[in-house]
Amino acid sequence: MSVTMIEPGQTMPAIEHHYLNAEKGIKSWLTTVDHKRIGIMYLISVVLFFAVGGLLAVFVRLELLTPGRTIMDAAMYNRVFSAHGIVMVFLFIIPSIPASLGNFLLPIMIGAKDVAFPRLNLASFYIYWAGGILGIIGMLSGAVDTGWTFYAPYSTTTTTVVWMTLAVFVAGFSSILTGLNFVVTIHKMRAPGMTWTRLPLFLWGIYATAIIQVLATPVIGITMLLLMMEKLIGIGIFDPKLGGDPVLYQHFFWFYSHPAVYIMILPAMGVISELMATFSRQKIFGYKAIALSSMAIALVSFLVWGHHMFVAGQSEVAAIIFSAITYLVGVPTGIKVISWVGTMYKGSISLRAPMIYAQMFLFLFTIGGLTGIMLGSLNVDVHLHDTYYVVAHFHYVMMGGTVIAFLGGLHYWWPKMTGKMYNESLAKWAAGLIFIGFNVTFFTQFILGSQGMPRRYYDYVPEYASLHAFSTYGSWILGLGLLVAFICFIHSLIKGEQVGADPWGGTTLEWLTTSPPDAHNFKRVPLVTRNPYDYDAAYDDLLGDGMGDGASRTPVVSPSRS
Amino acid sequence: MTPKHNNNRTMIGVLAAGILAIIYMIYVMVAPQGGHIQGWTPRASSTLAEGTDWVFNFINYWNYLFFIGVVAAMGYFIYKYQRKSDSDRTEKVKDSIAFEMFWVIFPTLLVMVVFVLGARDYMGQRVTPKNVYEIQATAFQWGWTFTYPNGGTSDSLVVPANQPVRMVMTSNDVLHSFYIPDFRVKQDVIPNRFTYVWFNAPKPTLKYNRPNDSTLTVSSLDRKHILHCTEYCGTSHSGMDRNVQVMAYNDFETWLEELTKVDESAEGGKKVFESKCQSCHSADGTPGIGPTWKGLWGSNRSVSPGGAVPADENYIRESILNPGAKVANGFPNAMTNFTGLIKDGEIKAIIEYMKTLK
């Protein structure tokens, strides 16, 4: 059987009916229950909050350009870095990949028409925005200068945190409902033949994430509620003056916020698995290892929160136990990295922009992971805790990991979402600038941190000045790179070439349907007869035009066995 | 449009450039500056630093090895298996159980070794040796008070050399954290609870006044150490940096005797102001978190409750020891209660100093 090739210069015919033109008008978007449209609305929202958080980050770095006052006073600086953290964590990174790419792709990848509860899905979106608006009110009304962690008793005695904590409380419900929706969808809505071991690894990542979202998010809700009650009616849970215990707050907070770290990174790991397979044209090395390690990470992540508190005043026994379990989380993460690198072995590696982001992810995430090994060590963490080493570490994981994977995934699935290809060289320029800018900004901070520079400092001793300045220069390159990436996507919307169903030669189900997909994803329910990355079988068994039965295949730029 | 696949070399170039950049930064960091090698960690000035640095370096060397291994494999595969044409087919790779088991067992063993090394050294940090010299520390927004066994207090830390010192710490308001990078010690300071750290600094420091003294270079090994607050505590969090001076035993004894004498002159008041008050108050009229002291003495103060009161000795004293009693209008009731943190003689000295600020 052969596959029709598109000759150079020949343009792809545009798809006539798809989810974007199924209905028209702003109202059809705001009231839609189509998971794809909700995914797109999430995408626009998280990009908006990323821009806000990013702008705040630029101000933070600008202030740190020189010791003492550069552009703002200490009180303003504290508000800016707090807002940066809160926006990035709660309004950008937690919903980023699961709510945008996850929403769009999850039903398509399992061959379903939609998520299990489409109306709940739309409700999640509006709850998320309710949280976002409360957060914006909190920022504009002034005084949240607690950092994103809201540590008591500073947060309960000295500043007005009610709006912000309410924002986190409300946004949490969006996260819980999305998680619930995804768990049920994956359990109940898989197409015939889509067994658990045939789930694409992106969905394993989303599934593990959704479980954490459902189980852990209520804890932050309760914690924020207690914090508000402490602030408003003085119930005395956390404030020692009222008989409370501030260390208890930290236990509550990290019991959510450590698993939340995996809410942020597991979907990113899923994206990377997809990219490595498609652009290496090779089945994932150790599929089961990656799938099971996601679940292992999700479970063990609930038992390591105390490693944020080695010097907080918890007992030595607790510290030692938390350190030991922390290292156990490191192992499955290491296995994933080895599996991704192993996937390239005997592959056919194409370095399109998504793959470049995947390689960047491996580079940066490996640094992030290895420095996590450093921070897990008890005596070393005593020195490094709350220094820039920690700041650099979690930026390597959260930005070098999640944001880079998000960008890679966005390039990868962009043609599917919009039907348009992006400009390859513009995308590569953006990736290069981001890579250089990121390392200049954040690698410097490893050095600052191991030298002893504490985090959340408005002012610093002159010894650190040159490193701080260097880091600030990096942030400009990084910002420019992100701007170019944004322009690249806008450019694609306006000038992008129409693509076929499967521009990359991908083998998961989303590449069987048209680009952009039909409003109902597939015209018939697909029948799955193979594993997700069986490149040798894919061209024989599961070819099709979105019918899922291999009857015919739309012309795509794709390999042929001839 | 046929995509081109000849850009793999560019990618390898970018990867190599990334590694070279990081190697260069590490080189700059460890290159000798003025005879002193500026390593990852700052100078090791306590007996605990050696253990911390050993584990730090142990992990770092393994990290270099793993990182270079991963990136080298990436580079090699990208080079070796680059796509020649769109119709490339790949052969199926057989899973190797032996290889996978190796990649589970080997890192597990290695991280367990790292865990044991770190935990063993940590226990050493937590168990205070005998014959320890105790100093009480009280943290507040935004400063420290150190109380020595003879009752003397100071705002920056002075410790005897070559002697285990135990800090018994508590906070007057919110969370703070006691961190001396050169000693590798850190411990959060919590209200309503005592926490402690101990350290032993073998070498006395030079008697310079400030760590940013122009006569100092980064490489000067015997400059004073810095104490940071590392738990975010509000507006002047970064203003809680203080000097840590290590003195030979005889010098320390002399210093301690001097400490109990309070200089009640305006000159002494200026010192108290600089150590305890100037993070919120100014002496030159610039507005701060609290009212400026310039022109304050003898003026009529608009306060609540109470309306107008003259700024006399009793008003000043009350404002320091019970700041909530009469809050100057236009300012928040935010001042720390200094009862127990300030001596009577120091209050007298502050009053003398205020008289000079016309």
What number is the average pLDDT over the span A350-363? Answer: 93
pLDDT at B30 over 90: no
For residue B221, what pLDDT is reported? 56
Q: A35-44, A174-183, A421-430, B214-223: which has the minimum mean pLDDT?
A: B214-223
Q: Residues B227, B283: one domain?
A: no
Give the confidence band of B35 by pLDDT, cuts at 50, 70, 90.
very low
At A117-148, the pLDDT tens digits run: 999 999 999 999 999 999 888 888 876 888 89
Please give the structure tokens belonging to residue A520: 């109902």
Residue A248 inside a domain? The answer is: yes
Segment A89-117, tens digit of pLDDT: 999 999 999 999 999 999 999 999 999 99
The verdict on B172 and B59 lying in the same domain is: no
* Confidence grade of residue A15 (pLDDT, cut at 50, 70, 90): confident
Number of domains chain B contains: 3
Which of A9, A324, A349 faces B77 most closely, judged by CB atoms?
A349
End-of-domain residue from the set A256, A283, A309? A256
pLDDT tens track for A209-221: 999 999 999 999 9
Would the CB atoms of A281 and B91 count as touching at under 8 Å?
no
The letter for the amino acid at A387 is: T
Q: What band does A2 get if pLDDT is binned at 50, 70 and 90?
A: very low
Q: Give the CA-trace dihedral at A496, A502, A505, A507, to 10 degrees.
A: 140
Cα distance from A40 to chain B (closest Cα, Å)? 28
- State how far the alpha carbon of B113 is from the alpha carbons of A181, A206, A324, B106, B119, in Å: 42, 33, 10, 11, 10
| pLDDT class of B285 with cuts at 50, 70, 90 | confident
User: How many percent of chain A have pLDDT more than 70?
Assistant: 92
Structural domain that includes position A558: 506-562
Looking at the predicted structure, is the pLDDT value of residue A224 above 80?
yes
Sequence-ordered list of residues with C-beta below 8 angstroms from that of B202, at least 6 positions apart, any chain: B45, B46, B47, B161, B162
Please compute the mean of the pLDDT values over residues A384-403 and round it to a whole number.
95
> 3-state class of A73 per DSSP?
coil
- Give the mean model confidence (pLDDT) for residues A351-371: 94
For residue B3, pLDDT beyond 50? no
B310 domain-assigned: yes
- In this structure, the answer to whether residues B151 and B62 fall within a common structural domain is no
| Burial profile B54-67: b = 16 or more Cβ within 10 angstroms, e = fewer | ebbebbbebbeebb
Indicate whether B188 and B225 sit together in one domain: yes
Last residue of a domain, one of A225, A241, A256: A256
Is B235 in contact with B216 (CB distance < 8 Å)?
no
Per-residue pLDDT, A292: 87
Q: Give the mutation candidate from A84, A383, A461 for the B interface (greatest B CB count, under 10 A).
A: A383
Q: Range with the lowest mean pLDDT among A230-239, A434-443, A464-473, B27-36?
A: B27-36
B86 within some domain: no
Is A10 inside a domain boundary? no
Check residue B196 and give its pLDDT: 92
Distance CA A157, CA A116 (A): 44
Same domain, B273 and B349: yes
On whether ipTM exceeds 0.90, the answer is no
| Optimal mutation site among B68, B183, B230, B278, interface A, most CBs of chain A within 10 A | B230
| B255 and B271 share one domain | no
Residue B85 lies in a domain: no
B186 falls within a domain: yes
Look up residue B123 and give its two tokens: 């226990």
Domain membership of residue A149 (yes or no) is: yes
Most confident of A5-19, A147-161, B149-163: B149-163
Among B1, B14, B60, the residue with its CB nearest the CB of A435 is B14
Residues in A closer than 8 angstroms to B192, CB to CB, are 240-241
- DSSP letter for A306, please: G
Q: What is the CATH number of the domain that holds B231?
A: 2.60.40.420
| Whether residue B281 sits in one domain with residue B328 | yes
Q: State the burial class of residue B156 (Cβ atoms within 10 Å of its Cβ: 0-12, 13-18, 19+).
A: middle
Which residues in chain B touch residue A371, judged by CB atoms under 8 angstroms apart? 63
pLDDT digits (tens, 9 = 90+) for B73-86: 998 999 888 888 77
DSSP conformational letter for B134: E
pLDDT category at A554 given cuts 50, 70, 90 is very low
Percentage above 90 pLDDT, chain B: 28
Peptide bond into B142 cis (omega under 30): yes
B226 located within any domain = yes
Is residue A289 one of the residues assigned to a domain? no
Cβ-Cβ contacts under 8 Å between A and B: the total is 297
**B143 and B116: one domain?**
no
**Percentage helix, strand, coil for chain B under 3-state DSSP, each rounded to 5:** 40, 20, 40
Q: What percent of chain A has pLDDT over 90?
A: 59
Given a contact cutoff of 8 angstroms between Cβ atoms, the answer to whether A15 and A419 are in contact is yes
Residue type, B89: R
pLDDT of residue A556 exceeding 50: no
B252, B138: one domain: yes
Q: Which of A209, A239, A256 is the last residue of a domain?
A: A256
- Is A216 within a domain? yes
On whether residue A277 sits in a domain, the answer given is no
| pLDDT per residue as tens digits for the range A467-521 | 899 899 999 999 999 999 999 999 999 998 888 888 888 888 898 888 889 888 8
Structural domain including B42 reads: 8-80+102-126
Report how many domains make up chain A: 2
Q: In terms of domains, do B226 and B282 share one?
A: no
User: Is residue B138 domain-shared with residue B253, that is, in the same domain?
Assistant: yes
pLDDT at A550 over 50: no
From A189-203, A465-479, B117-131, B249-263, the region with the lowest mean pLDDT: B249-263
Nearest CA-CA partner of A109 in A510, A550, A412, A517: A510
CATH number of residue A82's parent domain: 1.20.210.10
Asked if the C-beta of A451 comes within 8 angstroms of chain B's C-beta atoms, the answer is: yes
The SS3 assignment for B37 reads strand
Answer yes or no: is A199 within a domain. Answer: yes
Residue B140 sits in the same domain as residue B253: yes
B96 in a domain, yes or no?
Answer: no
Confirm whether A188 is domain-assigned: yes
Give A 13-42 residues with CB within 8 A of chain B.
Answer: none
